[in-house]
Structure 1
Amino acid sequence: MIEEPSGTNIPLPHADGLVFRPPLIGDVDAWLGLVKRIAAFENAPWHAQRSELEAALADPGNPVAENALVGVDADGVLRAYADVSKNPAGDKANVQGGVDPLWRRRGVGAALLAWQEAQAAARFAVDSALVLDNVQAPDPRVPKVRNHVEEDNVGQRALLAGAGYSVVRYYSQMQRPLLDLPAVQAPEGITITPLTDELSEAVRLGHNEAFADHWGSEPRTQERWAVEMRHEHLRQDLCTVAVDSTTGEVAGYQLVTVDPGDLRPGHGGEGYTELLGVRREWRGRGIAPALLADAMTRFVQAGLDRAALDVDTENPSGALRLYESMGYQPVRRSMVWDKLLGT
């Protein structure tokens, strides 16, 4: 079901041979097929899954009727897509999308990006009148648009650079084989336990607290958290929580995904740490390395042969040094590109 428009009215992009419209529930299979074609062509390390596309179609904070488009050719085949998402109290709008490899170099990507920027600017203008939790929304005169791109995606980098975007941050994907595991124990008074449904909400709140001082991070709503908890690749049996044995409070946590497509004969697969955090009150006690070491043991027991994660290379908390000390090494990088609109 398409939500009511959010108050913006941005003209649709134009590209010869394509008709643009909001995606519909019936498009999910075709949309996922398009996403997979693009990811295969770009050799991308990940791509959106069905649950994420379905969540985008039902996201009340970013109504799909105003914030997403698909481009359909004369045969009814989806050839391009784009979406815009924004927290009303956030300082940026995130944009993402892609074009079928067979339809590139026709100006489709540039047309979609221009539409995304116009929609983002309109969202800032609408959101500027809102107040959430007594925090005034950002100044609409300087709307900011953000796009995450793999460093080896030359075409996307050229598109963004040509449109006036600049790199503001680098993230490193790090990996280590599950050999010679570090012998790190949980500190006294901390118990590492599997994530349960009963602990999930406490972990969400703990994550929002732990990442409140992290660059670019925004709080996870219950709706977004629910999407992450039902993601196809989430391995709840490998997710863990560090619990204070005295108070029962969540001190830290680790969420893990495993791509089933990576589990092929002779290739044991990778346990990927999607989120790792320690709440402020419990920092400096060795909880993060204990969570990582515990996860590695669980990965081995699950038949995996590699551990991986991503890190902000400028993270002031020392995360990069921690991961290096635990045996992780960089294998590829991604880039965060920003553009201030109207400046």
Structure 2
Amino acid sequence: MTAITLPTDLIIRAATRDDAQAIIDLYAKVELAETGQSDNTVSDVYELWDGEKLDLANNSCAIFTASGELIGYTGVANTGRGVLLDVHTQVHPAYAELPLADFLLQFADERTRVLLAADDKLPRRLYTWGFTQSNTALFIQHGFTIENSDYRMEVILETEPQQPQPLPGITVRPFIPGKEERAVYDVIAEAFPDIDGKPYRPYEDWYEKVFEKTASFEPSMLYVAVAEDQIVGVTICRVYPDNGEGFIWQVGMRRAWRKRGIANQLLRTALTTYYQRGMKRIMLDVDANNATGAHQLYASIGMHKQSQVDSLVKTF
């Protein structure tokens, strides 16, 4: 592997938790330049580091100028589903003439090989998401391919949203913690393969991701639709009260109960709660090739496409 040389006056070291704000500031600089807005906060950095147990001391790299300005960052973590490249991987656009990206992504490759060598059951893949066109292009340039793409949709709740209309025989309510996790999963596991044709992740992986690794998950906003004494639809939500935003994370319906207005009722229930809690900008991601009618469903509650999110993978 060819060694990549950087100017000797740059400071290269492992990232620390104290660098989180500088990392999100750098990431937001690029995101704002390309999209006009940035959704990320420092809590997103901590959530990823803590949720995926990213070993900063060994598996992260930060590059600073002599004056202490952060101009590049990356990190990787063993997630059990492969190796995750931190989505906040970024280089400062003002230093594009330097091979910062080459250096950081070579570091990521090297640490990925170490993690894969230590766990022979780990899928031989490095994966991440590109939230801007420049990041997607950067990752493709370094050997990644696009696995699939989502549209990020959003609605700004300037006024109180339309109240959900009751449906005969359908009850929408918060789920019951400790009793209904498996039933919620069963709905998601039936619904999501209809989107991408792939088997859904095992229950244990889903539970860990939702209930243990994601600090922004709001259990009181996990809504279920109940019909004939069974859960037939679910909406799982995340909250970011510090910047007045919410994220509708997962929406799923049993096949036999689709096209009855139940998903619309679930979504309007979530929007009403977001509004009441002072969160006005609400987002979600939908597969660009979703053929279940989801695009029309989300448009019906006022959402519109804001950007594209690409899922990328590199095999080893």
The answer for the alignment partner of 2:170 in structure 1 is 190
Letter of the aligned partner of 1:147 in structure 2?
T
Gaps of 5+ in 1: 1-10, 59-63, 129-137, 263-268
1:176 aligns with 2:155: yes
Question: What's 2:129 paired with?
Answer: 148
| Inter-CA distance 55–304: structure 2 relative to 1 (3 Å threshold) | closer
User: Which residue number in structure 1 is paired with residue 207 of structure 2?
Assistant: 222
**SS of 1:253 mapped into structure 2:** strand
Q: Which runs of 4+ in 1 moved over 4 A?
A: 13-17, 72-79, 119-123, 179-184
Aligned equivalents of 1:174, 1:72: Cα separation in 2: 32
User: Percent identity between the aligned chains?
Assistant: 21
Structure-2 residue corresponding to 1:127: 121
Alignment counterpart, residue 247 of structure 2, candidates 234, 250, 272: 272
Question: Greater shift after overlay, 312-321 or 250-259?
Answer: 250-259
Equivalent position to 1:208, from 189, 196, 201: 189
For each residue in 1:38-92, what CA deviation from the matched residue of structure 2 results, as whole angstroms up to 9, or x when unmatched?
Answer: 333233423534343223228xxxxx599x612267999996331144546xxx6
What amino acid is aligned across from residue 54 of structure 1 in structure 2? Answer: D
Report SS of the residue matched to 1:126. Answer: coil
Post-superposition Cα deviations, 1:109-163, rounded to whole Å, max 9, x if no partner, equal 232343255357647x8128xxxxxxxxx7xxxx4443211134x2x23422222
Quote the offset at 1:327 in angstroms: 2.2
Whole-angstrom CA distance in 2 between matches of 1:177 and 1:308: 9
1:188 corresponds to which letter in structure 2? P
Q: 1:301 is matched by which residue type in structure 2? A: Q
Please tell me whether residue 45 in structure 1 is matched to residue 35 in structure 2.
Answer: no
Answer with 73-82 or 174-183: which moved more. Answer: 73-82
Worse-matched range after superposition: 212-221 or 292-301: 212-221
- The letter for the 2-side match of 1:170 is S
Structure 2 segments unaligned to the other structure (5+ residues): 32-37
1 CA distance for matches of 2:60 and 2:69? 10
Residue number in structure 2 paired with 1:327? 302
Q: What does residue range 14-25 of structure 1 map to in structure 2 within 5 Å?
A: 17-19=11-13
Q: CA deviation at 1:253?
A: 1.5
Count of residues paired in the alignment: 289
- Report the AA paired with residue 73 of structure 2: A
- The one-letter amino acid paired with 2:278 is G
Number of the residue aligned with 2:35: none
1:330 to 1:282, Cα distance in 2 relative to 1, 3 A: same
Equivalent residue letter for 2:165: Q
Q: What amino acid is aligned across from residue 142 of structure 2 in structure 1?
A: A
1:155-170 equivalences in 2 (<5 Å): 156-170=135-149
- Give the aligned CA root-mean-square deviation in angstroms: 3.8
* Contact 1:193/1:242, CA 8 A, preserved across alignment: yes
Identify the match of residue 243 of structure 1 among 226, 235, 246: 226
State how far apart, in whole Å, the 1-side matches of 2:310 and 2:220 are. 31
Structure-2 change in CA distance of 1:283 and 1:120 (3 Å): farther
Q: Distance in 2 between matches of 1:316 and 1:116?
A: 38
Aligned equivalent of 2:34: none
Sort the Cα spacing of 1:238 and 1:223 in 2 relative to 1 into closer, same or farther, 3 A.
Answer: closer
Q: Residue 18 of structure 1 aligns to which amino acid in structure 2?
A: I
Q: Comparing both structures, which one devotes a greater share of its residues to helix?
A: 2
Take 2:40 and 2:272, find their aligned partners in 1: how far apart are those partners? 24
1:201 and 1:103 map into 2 onto residues whose CA distance is 49
